Structure 1
Amino acid sequence: MSPSPQEIRAAKAEATLRDRDLAASLKISEAQLVAAHVSVSGPFRATRIRFHPDDVMPVMPRLGEVMSLTRNESIVLERVGTFGEYRSGPHAAMVLGKDIDTRIFPKHWAYGFAVEADGDHGTRRSLQFFDTTGEALQKVYLRETSDAAAWAPLVEELTLDDQSDAITPEPAMPTEGPKADAEKRDVLVAEWQKMTDTHQFNRISSRLGMNRLGAYRLAGSPYVRAVDPGCVEGWMTALSETRQKVVFFVGNRGHIQIHWGTFDAIKVMGPWLNVLDPMLNVHLRADRVAEAYVVDKPTKRGPAISLECFDAEGGLIFQCYGQRESEEDTLDQWHGILDRLPAVREAAE
Structure 2
Amino acid sequence: MSLSPADIRAAREAEPQARPRDLAVKLGIAEAELCAAFAGAGVIRIEAHPDRLIPALAGFGPVMALTRNESCVIEKVGTYDNFRPGPHAALVVNEGIDLRLFPGHWLHAFAVEGEGGKRSVQIFDAAGDAIHKIHLRPESNAAHWDGFVAGLRLADQGQSLTLTPRKPPEPPKANPDRADELRAGWDELTDTHQFLRLTSRLKMNRLGAYRIAGLPYARRLAPGSVESLLRQAADVAVPIMVFVGNQGCIEIHTGPIARVVETGPWINVLDPGFDLHLRMDHIAEIYAVVKNTQRGPAHSVEFFAADGALIAQVFGVLRAGEDAVSQWNALVAALPEGV
Q: TM-score, normalising length from structure 1?
A: 0.95
Deviation at 1:17, TM superposition (A): 1.8
Q: Please, which runs of 5 or more residues in structure 1 have no aligned partner?
A: none
Match in the other structure for 1:191: 185
**Which AA in structure 2 matches 1:197?**
D
Task: Report whether the alignment pairs 1:7 with 2:7.
Answer: yes
Partner Cα separation in structure 2 for residue 222 and residue 168 of structure 1: 47
Q: Equivalent residues in 2 for 1:212-223 (5 A)?
A: 212-223=206-217
Deviation at 1:327, TM superposition (A): 5.2
Partner Cα separation in structure 2 for residue 114 and residue 186 of structure 1: 51
Task: Report whether the alignment pairs 1:56 with 2:53.
Answer: yes
Partner Cα separation in structure 2 for residue 329 and residue 87 of structure 1: 32
Partner Cα separation in structure 1 for residue 94 and residue 137 of structure 2: 18
Partner Cα separation in structure 1 for residue 252 and residue 166 of structure 2: 25
1:155 aligned to which of 143, 149, 157: 149
Is contact 2:298-2:318 (8 Å) kept?
Answer: no
Task: Report whether the alignment pairs 1:255 with 2:252.
Answer: no
Sequence identity (%): 48
Deviation at 1:172, TM superposition (A): 1.2
- Give the number of the structure whose residues are more often strand, by fraction: 1
* Residues 21-40 of structure 1: per-residue CA shift (max 9 Å, x gap): 10011111000010000013
Deviation at 1:239, TM superposition (A): 0.8
Partner Cα separation in structure 1 for residue 153 and residue 294 of structure 2: 46
Deviation at 1:168, TM superposition (A): 1.7
After superposition, the Cα gap between the structure-2 partners of 1:148 and 1:330, relative to the gap in structure 1 and judged at 3 Å, is closer
Aligned residues: 338
Match in the other structure for 1:85: 82
Deviation at 1:324, TM superposition (A): 3.2
2:169 aligned to which of 175, 191, 205: 175
Q: TM-score, normalising length from structure 2?
A: 0.98
Deviation at 1:285, TM superposition (A): 0.4
Task: Report whether the alignment pairs 1:24 with 2:25.
Answer: yes
Local SS of the residue matching 1:9: helix
Q: Equivalent residues in 2 for 1:174-323 (5 A)?
A: 174-323=168-317
Partner Cα separation in structure 1 for residue 12 and residue 324 of structure 2: 52
Q: Please, which runs of 5 or more residues in structure 2 have no aligned partner?
A: none
Deviation at 1:227, TM superposition (A): 0.2
Partner Cα separation in structure 1 for residue 270 and residue 305 of structure 2: 23
Partner Cα separation in structure 2 for residue 205 and residue 199 of structure 1: 11
Query: Deviating runs (4+, > 6 A) in structure 1?
Result: none
Partner Cα separation in structure 2 for residue 65 and residue 242 of structure 1: 29
Deviation at 1:330, TM superposition (A): 6.5
**Which AA in structure 1 matches 2:34?**
L
Deviation at 1:320, TM superposition (A): 1.0
State the superposition RMSD in angstroms. 1.1
Is contact 2:239-2:324 (8 Å) kept?
Answer: no
